[in-house]
Structures are given as structure tokens and as C-alpha cells.
Amino acid sequence: MPSTPRSFASRVSTQSSAARETVSGAQSHAAPTATTRRSTNFILTTASAICALIVLDTNVVAVSLPSIARTFHADFADVEWVVSAYMVAFAACLLAAGGLADRIGRKRLLLIGLAVFAAASLGCGLAPSVLWLNIARAVKGVGAGMLIPSSLAIIAHTFQDEHERARAWAFWGMCMGIATTIAPLVGGAITQFVGWRWIFLMNLPICAVLAACAFSSMSESKNPHAVAIDKPGSLTFGLALACGIWALIDAGIQGWTSTTTLTRLAGSLLLFALFVGIERRTRHAMIDLALFRDRRFVGAVLAMFGYAACAQVMMTFLPLYLQNAFGLPAVAAGLGMLPFALAMIVGPFIGAALLRRRSIDRVLLIGLVLIGAGNMLTAGVAPMGRYLWVACGMVVTGLGAGIMNGNTQKAIVARVAPSRTGMASGISTTTRFTAIVMSVGVLGGVLAARTRDAFDLAVAGKPAIAAYVDAPFVSRVLAGDAAGAVMHAPDHVHAMLSTLARSSFASGFSDAMGAAGTVALVLAACLWGIAARE
């Protein structure tokens, strides 16, 4: 999860100005003393560490998915839900949690969020089944949804001076970048050397330390003028998103044109329509739909959607590909993702240089084209089984993602009045996570369907091999457990099945990346068209 700019913190920290807040513990606005600076720096470090923990937890799980699949003999849909259950709950809670923090207190919500996050982490680590794990992951997403807005609000409230606030956000962004970069390696190392359950259990002592630091250092703040929480809007949005993802994830099993899939998709569309109706009639709606009358605002939101759906989703599918197609252990797969992560660190510097010469709309267009080109390159070389070429695709995609990271939010906020920046940033952040979870469902469906097609084509006319390539075999390969799928095969077909599993999964991954690249380039064309009309 890349960095979120100060405007989102403004949304969750104030509705109007600091003068309108009730604050427990007066804060001096005079020149900071050494003691005050140490205190505020400690608060900044604590809040940034909490956000970094969420980023780390969001991205660290993907490398462990094959190990989770082996433990529970889980199929591909179950593995997708390990990611999606968390993301759906996270996306559904973000906007509502910002308003709740204003009403009950930012520090209080942060401590509640840490407790929920830690309890859910314990549930994940001790999960006896994949269903239990996915339920705990959803609860964990609720906790994460509480932590992000409350942490950002506390940073914004603590640093009132413009110069100090800029320094604080720079430090916060650095922490987010570091967490994103090391997440695959940390996940791989923990999974390989101590087991995937410790990816979740390690959160318990970390949450305890962070809660103690927050309790002792942070003062309470709230907004007495905070508006009522849009409960109907929050509920219908969350249900609509969950129903849509349910349809997309199970479509590979039920069939894209099956009654079950179509019913779930229809239910999702009806709930989204109901959500729009609620937002149009609610006085204090989560989202002001009038913002979408601005074409360039819509273009910036589309850019955010494309960035998250076509680039950030790589954090989920790349580890599966590296472990399946190359037979890499978890820690090596984490190392194998470094070209993508490091390119994302370099990308913002390129984006800053481009902004000095081009408008932000053009910079977003360049970033989205790079993401599309990188995905297309990855799609073209994935079946070849040559890591160096795949790494080149990662670098191109990562550079595009780095250019768009942050600039997407800036572009959205730049299109609204200062009084509306909070809501605009909330829309941006919710769009990010909604896009990721939708992309996991859609691209996962493409991956599953095309991998099955590759298997069917390869075993056609070969009954001796086809007998072993049944639905459970294919499902385990899709879940990232190719080694487990062929483990009990007879010696005379073991090598052939291993080769077939790698090549078929690589073929499906290639098609999924091709679909992501196509979406990115289509959205880039839309952005170009919107910019050309201005």
C-alpha cells in the first residue's frame, strides 16, 4: 500500500480547522523545545510504525499463499479469499472509520484498532481451517481500516506547523516505502524458516509494544462538529463489494455464465445502485457524487484505479508465478520480487522530474503507459521461463507504479476545493483498495481459466497423463502448490507432470498479465481523451 498524502489525514483529522476541535492535553504552537520535539517525534515514529505494520501485513501474505494452500489442501478460490477477505473489509471500513475517529477520538479508535488487529492476527495464526483463516482475515481488515485513518489523523493533529508537517509526511512516506520493499522478503523468510503462521503471530508482540507507546505518548483529540456516520452507505458499499468479489472468485468454478455467478453479480450491481441512491439522498453522505461531474476528477480516479488494479495487484500474483513456474522456495520468491519493489522506490524521483516539465495529467498518462507496457512485456516473456526477462517486465511496471504513487492522489485532490480535499482523498484511498480486490478476482479468474485450458491442450490425446490431471490437481497448481500436486504421482509421470504444471501455470499467468496490460493501456487512452478535451 503506497503512501497516502496529507489530504487524507486532513479528512480524518479535521472537518474544518484545528480551532474547532476539542483536545485533551493542550499543545503549544510556539517554537518547539527539545523536549517537545522529542515527544512529537516519538508520536510520529509510533503512528508511522503502525501504518508500516499495516503495509507490511498487506503485502507480506502473498509469498506465503502456496504454503497456506499446502497446509489446508486449499483450492485457488480459498487462496484468493485469503487476500480478498482482508481487502474487502479494509476498503469498506476506511471512510466510515475516518468519521468514527472524529466522533469518539483518534487515540481511542487507534487503540481499539490495535486490539482488533492483534486478536484477528491470533485467530489467523491459530486457524484450524482455511475458512477460519479467511474469517479472521476479514476481521483483521476491519482493524486495519480503523488504524490507518486514526494514525494519519494523529500525525496531522500533532504537526500543525506547515514545515514540520511536511517533514512528518516525508518521514511517514519513507516508512511506507521501506515496508513495501521488504514485505516480500520478510514474508518469504518467515514462511520458509519458521512457518507461515508466524507471519500473523509476530503481530501480537508488535501490537502490544505499539499500543503501549501510543497510550503513553499520544493525547486524545476529536471533532465536536463531526457529522453523523453514514451507516447505510457504509453497509451497502461493503455488501456490494463483497458480493461482487464472491461472484468473481467463484466464477472459475461455477462458470462465468452460470446462474450462481450471474445472480451474485446482479446482487452486487443492485447493492451498488442502492448505495448511489443512498448517497444522493443522505445529508452527510460518505461520497458527494457531484464531484464526478468534473471530467478531470473522473480521469484522476480512473488513473488511481488503473494503478492499483494493474500494478499493485502484482504483489499477489508474482509470488505464485515465481514459486510455481521456477520452483523457487518462499524466501527466493521474495528476493525475486525485489526488481519490482526497488523500481517503485526509483519511480517517484522520475515522477518528480517529469512534473517539472509536464502537467500532472501527462505524468499520470506516462505512468499508466509504463504499467501497461511492463505488464505486456511480462506477459510475453512469462512462458519462456527466463527470470531475467521477467525481471525486466517487473522493472518497467514498477517504474510506472512509482511515478503514479502519490501523484494519483495529488491529481484527485487538485480538482476539488480545499474544503472538499478530505472527501476526495477518501474516495482515492477507497478506490485503491477496491481496485486491488476487484483485480484479484478478475485476473484470478483469467489465470484459472487459461491455466486449465493449457492443461487440457497439453494432455489431449495423452490418456496416460490426463488421468492424473483432474480438477483437484489443477486446483492445487493454481493455489501455488505445484510440488504438492505432483508429489504422489508415479515416478514414470512425475517429471512430465512437474513440467506440465510449470508451463501451464506460466501460460495462465501470461494471459492474466496481458489482461492487466490491456486494461492499463485502455485506461491510458481514456486519460488522454479526457485531457485532450480540456
Residue type at 244? G
Contact yes or no for 458/322 (Cβ under 8 A): no
In a domain, 448, yes or no: yes
Phi-psi region of 21 (alpha: psi -120 to 50; beta: other; left: phi over 0): beta
- SS3 state of residue 357: coil
Contact yes or no for 433/95 (Cβ under 8 A): no
Cα 271 to Cα 251: distance, rounded to the nearest angstrom: 19
Cα 510 to Cα 77: distance, rounded to the nearest angstrom: 19
Q: Using one digit for the tens of pLDDT, what is the confidence trace for 439-471?
A: 888 888 888 888 888 888 888 777 777 777 877
Range of the domain at 245: 231-283
Cα 275 to Cα 231: distance, rounded to the nearest angstrom: 11
- Specify the DSSP class assigned to residue 310: I
Q: Using one digit for the tens of pLDDT, what is the confidence trace for 17-36?
A: 333 344 344 343 444 555 57
The larger pLDDT score, comparing residue 38 to residue 357, is at: 357
- Supply the pTM of this predicted model: 0.79
pLDDT at 369: 95
Backbone angles phi, psi at 32, to 5 degrees: -70, 135
The count of C-alpha atoms lying within 13 angstroms of the C-alpha of 386, restricted to the half-sphere facing its C-beta, is 8
- SS3 state of residue 222: strand
- Residue 150, all three cell numbers: 486514526
- Residue 24, all three cell numbers: 485533551
> 284 pLDDT exceeds 80?
no
> What is the four-CA torsion angle of 101, 106, 111, 116, rounded to 10 degrees?
20
The distance from CA 126 to its chain's CA centroid, rounded to whole angstroms, is 24
Residues 313 and 456 in one domain: yes
The count of C-alpha atoms lying within 13 angstroms of the C-alpha of 102, restricted to the half-sphere facing its C-beta, is 25
In a domain, 23, yes or no: no
In a domain, 26, yes or no: no
Q: Using one digit for the tens of pLDDT, what is the confidence trace for 2-14?
A: 444 444 444 444 4
Residues 274 and 401 in one domain: no
Residue after which a domain boundary falls, among 202, 223, 244: 223
Q: 170: how many CB neighbours lie within 10 A of its CB?
A: 10
The count of C-alpha atoms lying within 13 angstroms of the C-alpha of 377, restricted to the half-sphere facing its C-beta, is 19
In a domain, 362, yes or no: yes
In a domain, 29, yes or no: no
> What is the C-alpha radius of gyration for the chain, rounded to an integer number of angstroms?
23
pLDDT at 131: 92
Backbone angles phi, psi at 23, to 5 degrees: -120, 130
Q: 178: how many CB neighbours lie within 10 A of its CB?
A: 14
Residues 181 and 320 in one domain: no
The larger pLDDT score, comparing residue 38 to residue 206, is at: 206
Q: Say how many domains are in the chain.
A: 3
Residues 106 and 184 in one domain: yes
In a domain, 25, yes or no: no
Q: What average pLDDT does this structure show over 412-422?
A: 65
Residues 261 and 357 in one domain: no
Q: Using one digit for the tens of pLDDT, what is the confidence trace for 317-347?
A: 888 888 888 888 888 888 898 899 889 888 8
pLDDT at 32: 52
Q: Using one digit for the tens of pLDDT, what is the confidence trace for 421-444?
A: 556 666 777 788 888 888 888 888
Residues 213 and 264 in one domain: no
Could you please report the per-residue DSSP string of 375-444? Answer: HHHHHHHGGGT-HHHHHHHHHHHHHHHHHHTTHHHHHHHHTS-GGGHHHHHHHHHHHHHHHHHHHHHHHH
Contact yes or no for 108/163 (Cβ under 8 A): no
- Residue 231, all three cell numbers: 451507516
Residues 137 and 253 in one domain: no
Q: Using one digit for the tens of pLDDT, what is the confidence trace for 137-196?
A: 999 999 998 898 888 878 877 887 777 877 887 788 778 778 877 888 888 889 889 999
Q: Which of 161, 174, 135 is nearest to 51 (CA)?
A: 174
Cα 152 to Cα 107: distance, rounded to the nearest angstrom: 11
Residues 189 and 243 in one domain: no
pLDDT at 417: 67
Cα 304 to Cα 316: distance, rounded to the nearest angstrom: 18
Q: Report helix angle 130-158 to 34-60, nearest 10.
A: 160
The count of C-alpha atoms lying within 13 angstroms of the C-alpha of 88, restricted to the half-sphere facing its C-beta, is 28
- Specify the DSSP class assigned to residue 22: E
Q: Which of 273, 136, 281, 272 is nearest to 201 (CA)?
A: 136
In a domain, 334, yes or no: yes
Residues 363 and 504 in one domain: yes
Residues 379 and 500 in one domain: yes
- Residue 90, all three cell numbers: 479494509
Report the CATH number at residue 77: 1.20.1250.20
- 118-122, 220-224, 416-420 — which is least confidently predicted? 416-420
Contact yes or no for 12/186 (Cβ under 8 A): no
The distance from CA 306 to its chain's CA centroid, rounded to whole angstroms, is 13
pLDDT at 138: 92
Grid cell 512462458 is found at 383
Residues 253 and 337 in one domain: no
> 394 pLDDT exceeds 90?
yes
Residues 391 and 430 in one domain: yes
- Residue 124, all three cell numbers: 489467523
In a domain, 27, yes or no: no
Percent of the chain with pLDDT over 90: 25
